Chains A and B, each alone.
Chain A
Amino acid sequence: MLMALLKRDLLLAFRSRGDLLNPLMFFMMVASLFPLAVSPDPQLLGLIAAGVIWVGALLATLLSLDLMFKSDYEDGSLEQMLLMPQPAMLMVLVKVLVHWLVAGLPLAFIAPLLGLMLGLPNGGFMPLVLSLLLATPILSLLGAIGAGLTVGLRKGGMLMPLLILPLYIPVLIFASSSVQAGVQGNDYLGHMAFLGAYLALTLVVAPVAAAAALRISLAR
């Protein structure tokens, strides 16, 4: 049942390529705004590259979160999914997995290119990709809570960042400082360990909270 849901959602995602590419293009555009706004000086850019790429990744994820439940809510299939015999949190977990595969994972692949454009020093590439691989699932998991809470609202788009961004702050801090550590030639495994721990915590808490949020949103 859950496998079928996974297949269906992936198929749906790949049928609408625009939705798939939009967050990626947004990510690249945000990153390329900074050289225009701050300065094209490679040394300065190298210093802020890690932060810029990570803020871009956060915003791109936020942008795509709306897609997680919206279309299923609109055609009524979300209600049917909540009625499945399987626990709702497993259904949420599948949705999160699909969102991560579609919107989170590509960010990790395209980030080195942006790092190159922004003059990220060589030591930073490895931690950048690793931190994105480890932390984008966290963004999808926490985002599921916000998406669940706002799914029935007409003006949910503005509300979601307000709810979710404060929860993203630890991710931002540890991910971008792992890249800084890599740039300075220091050991960044400690940061990775923290990101892993946060991933474990959100993996346990977020699906439960998101399932509760969906139940509340659909109770009307």
Chain B
Amino acid sequence: MWTRLKRLYHKMGSPKWFYEITTRWSKWFMAVGSILMLTGVVWGLAFAPADYLQGNSFRIIYIHVPASLLSQSAYIIMAVAGLVGLVWKMKMSFVVGKVIAPIGASLAILSLLTGAIWGKPTWGTWWVWDARLTSMLILLFLYFGVIAIYNAIENDEMANKAAAVLSIVGSINIPVIKYSVEWWNTLHQPATITLTKKPTMAPEMFIPLMLTILGFYCWFAVWVFARTRNEILFKERKTNWVKKLLLSEHKKTTGAQL
């Protein structure tokens, strides 16, 4: 088991192997993710019972919760990838870290937007300075910092390492920020906290939520793979295997010899 894992790690470290392995994996993740998302969303939107308090507006939960969960896990994955890159000098993990930053940021934005849309009918306002909302906003700011550092530093290797340091420092700080925001809020307006607490859900509402969450994770993997593969092709564009691959793809699509 251990040796197999180690072999997989070394294979993933090579851009060519990574490309070939994820070609196969992507299809599976795409298929499973689609099935999960479809059943989850259709079940959640059409068949799950309406909430006795919020009516149908609660159904946005099937997008909101997966997006929020995933944007947080994406940050952790990014930081771990950065750590692996810094410690073991694994190039591919830097690529993965770089690719995740904009994905995680867009998931955080999606979560904030759906939260605002959900908040309007239920709380009567688009935004409150509540603990969860604020810490999500700060998570988005942390993503902005990482993206900004990629944009600011032209040297690729330097940018990767700098962003890795920043994301690791940020991940140490996330718990501090999260709890400080929660305590700050409970100091001032403890009443709103109860609004954000997750209601204990009935299983017919909860199972579709689980399905969409898993589906989001699968599609996140597909998304990360696709962007990483693009990066690989660009970075390795001068190597033989990429030239061969592109030629054969070209032949497949046009049927013509170059």
Name A residues whose Cβ lies closer than 8 Å to a Cβ of B. Answer: 145, 149-150, 153, 155-156, 159, 162-163, 165-167, 169-170, 173-174, 177, 194, 198, 201, 205-206, 209, 212-213, 216-217, 219-220
Contacts A162-B144, A216-B161: A169 and B177 contacting too (C-beta < 8 A)?
yes
B 156-191 to A, binary, CB cutoff 8 A, 1 in contact else 0: 011001100110111011001100110110010000
Asked if B195 CB lies within 8 Å of chain A CBs, one says no
Partner of A174, one of B149, B169, B170, B180: B180
Given contacts A166-B177, A169-B138, A174-B184, 13 further A-B contacts (CB under 8 A): A145-B165, A149-B162, A149-B165, A159-B149, A159-B152, A162-B141, A163-B148, A166-B145, A167-B170, A169-B180, A173-B180, A216-B158, A216-B161
Residues of A within 8 A of B181 (CB): 169, 173
Residues of A within 8 A of B184 (CB): 173-174, 177
Asked if B153 CB lies within 8 Å of chain A CBs, one says yes
Task: Give the interface SS of chain A, mostly helix, strand, loop or mixed.
Answer: helix
CA distance A177 to B184 in the complex (A): 8
Residue of A nearest to B172 (CB): A205
In the assembled complex, how far is the CB of residue B153 from the closest CB belonging to chain A, in whole angstroms? Answer: 7
Partner of A167, one of B148, B157, B173: B173
CA distance A40 to B37 in the complex (A): 56
In the complex the two chains form, is A177's CB within 8 Å of B170's CB? no
Residues of A within 8 A of B172 (CB): 201, 205
Residues of B within 8 A of A219 (CB): 157-158, 161
In the assembled complex, how far is the CB of residue A181 from the closest CB belonging to chain B, in whole angstroms? Answer: 8
In the complex the two chains form, is A198's CB within 8 Å of B176's CB? yes
In the assembled complex, how far is the CB of residue A177 from the closest CB belonging to chain B, in whole angstroms? Answer: 6
Residues of A within 8 A of B173 (CB): 166-167, 170
Name B residues whose Cβ lies closer than 8 Å to a Cβ of A. Answer: 86, 138, 141-142, 144-145, 148-149, 152-153, 155, 157-158, 161-162, 165-166, 168-170, 172-173, 176-177, 180-181, 183-184, 187
CA distance A217 to B159 in the complex (A): 9
Residues of B within 8 A of A201 (CB): 172, 176
CA distance A166 to B152 in the complex (A): 18
In the complex the two chains form, is A167's CB within 8 Å of B169's CB? yes
Partner of B152, one of A155, A174, A216: A155
CA distance A194 to B257 in the complex (A): 69
Partner of B138, one of A166, A194, A206, A217: A166
CA distance A64 to B93 in the complex (A): 35
In the complex the two chains form, is B187's CB within 8 Å of A153's CB? no
In the complex the two chains form, is B141's CB within 8 Å of A166's CB? yes
CA distance A209 to B180 in the complex (A): 22
Contacts A149-B149, A163-B149: A205 and B180 contacting too (C-beta < 8 A)?
no
Residues of A within 8 A of B153 (CB): 153
In the assembled complex, how far is the CB of residue B182 from the closest CB belonging to chain A, in whole angstroms? Answer: 10
A–B pairs, 15, beta carbons within 8 Å: A145-B165, A149-B162, A149-B165, A153-B152, A162-B141, A165-B141, A166-B138, A166-B170, A167-B169, A167-B170, A169-B181, A170-B177, A198-B176, A206-B169, A212-B86
In the complex the two chains form, is B180's CB within 8 Å of A166's CB? no
CA distance A156 to B180 in the complex (A): 29
CA distance A150 to B162 in the complex (A): 9
In the complex the two chains form, is A170's CB within 8 Å of B180's CB? yes
In the complex the two chains form, is A216's CB within 8 Å of B180's CB? no
CA distance A152 to B165 in the complex (A): 16
CA distance A201 to B180 in the complex (A): 14
Residue of B nearest to A198 (CB): B176
Residue of A nearest to B168 (CB): A209
In the complex the two chains form, is A213's CB within 8 Å of B170's CB? no
In the complex the two chains form, is A209's CB within 8 Å of B149's CB? no
Residues of A within 8 A of B142 (CB): 166
In the assembled complex, how far is the CB of residue B190 from the closest CB belonging to chain A, in whole angstroms? Answer: 14
> Which 8 A-B residue pairs are closest in the complex by CB-CB distance?
A170-B180, A173-B184, A216-B161, A166-B141, A163-B145, A162-B148, A173-B180, A162-B145
CA distance A28 to B256 in the complex (A): 72
User: Which of B141, B144, B157, B165 is packed against the most chain A CB atoms within 10 Å?
Assistant: B165
Residue of A nearest to B181 (CB): A173
CA distance A198 to B183 in the complex (A): 15
In the complex the two chains form, is B187's CB within 8 Å of A177's CB? yes
Residue of B nearest to A170 (CB): B180
CA distance A153 to B162 in the complex (A): 12
